[in-house]
């Protein structure tokens, strides 16, 4: 029998994003008007959320380092892409597209609730192997992350309201390593 559920866009980023660069520790990269407060007890086992984002990424040449994406509930990273290798050709604000699906696997207080998450990241600046350049990476690579066996994310408290945020970090702080989120959407799939 059908659950009689429907998808709903919970929030979008209605204005232009800011280019963030010259940092390493993961930080918020969506605008404050795109933050969404998930109500207390919204999570049920099997409920799904989808984070869609499009924007621009810049990276430096030769040893650009790595970057990672995190979906944050309050202060807890419920999803972490792990490190994604950047292409060794310099790029300036080239487009990327990403989607992260989260499925609630457990609910409860303190740190007992969690999500299973997988992401797809596509853009010329991503690569599977360190040292790849545009010359040997001539297509738009698609990265599935994390690049390990999928596991549930860090536990959080689903009995309280949680602000949902998107963080990104780089392993090399440089003005040429940056990200700008131009479009962001948080969707409840069921």
Q: For residue range 111-141, what is the model confidence (pLDDT) as tens digits?
A: 999 999 999 999 999 988 777 777 766 667 8
The parent domain of residue 97 ranges over: 13-188
- Establish if 168 belongs to a structural domain: yes
- How would you label 119-133 residue by residue, b for 16+ Cβ within 10 Å and e otherwise? bebbbbbbbeeeebe
- Would you say 167 and 52 are in contact if contact means Cβ atoms under 8 Å apart? no
What does the pLDDT read at residue 5?
73
- Establish if 1 belongs to a structural domain: no
- Establish if 126 belongs to a structural domain: yes
CA dist 125 and 85 (Å) reads 9
- Establish if 8 belongs to a structural domain: no
Q: Model pTM greater than 0.85?
A: yes
- Would you say 79 and 15 are in contact if contact means Cβ atoms under 8 Å apart? no
In this structure, of 10-14, 44-48, 131-135, 159-163, the range with the lowest mean pLDDT score is: 131-135
CA dist 81 and 143 (Å) reads 10
Could you tell me the pLDDT band of residue 150, with boundaries at 50, 70 and 90?
A: confident
- Establish if 134 belongs to a structural domain: yes
What does the pLDDT read at residue 1?
47
- Cα–Cα–Cα angle for 53, 57, 61, rounded to 5 degrees: 155
- Establish if 181 belongs to a structural domain: yes
Could you tell me the pLDDT band of residue 3, with boundaries at 50, 70 and 90?
A: low
Instruction: Identify the DSSP state of 19.
Output: P
Q: What is the pLDDT of residues 64-78, one digit of tens each?
A: 999 999 999 999 999
- Establish if 5 belongs to a structural domain: no
Specify the number of domains making up the chain: 1
């Amino acid at each position: 029998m059908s659950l009689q559920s429907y998808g709903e866009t919970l929030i979008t980023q209605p204005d232009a994003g800011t280019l963030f660069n010259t940092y390493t520790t993961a930080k918020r990269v969506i605008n404050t008007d795109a933050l969404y407060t998930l109500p207390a007890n919204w999570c049920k086992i099997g409920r799904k959320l989808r984070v869609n984002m499009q924007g621009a990424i810049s990276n430096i040449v030769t040893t650009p380092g790595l970057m990672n994406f995190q979906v944050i509930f309050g202060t807890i990273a419920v999803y972490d892409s792990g490190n994604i290798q950047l292409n060794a050709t310099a790029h300036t604000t080239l487009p990327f597209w990403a989607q992260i699906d989260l499925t609630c696997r457990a609910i409860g207080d303190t740190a007992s609730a969690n999500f299973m998450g997988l992401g797809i990241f596509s853009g010329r600046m991503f690569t599977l192997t360190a040292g790849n350049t545009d010359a040997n990476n001539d297509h738009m690579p698609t990265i599935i992350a994390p690049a390990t066996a999928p596991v549930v994310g860090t536990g959080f408290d689903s009995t309280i309201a949680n602000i949902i945020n998107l963080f990104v970090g780089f392993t090399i702080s440089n003005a040429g390593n940056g990200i700008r989120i131009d479009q962001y959407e948080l969707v409840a799939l069921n």
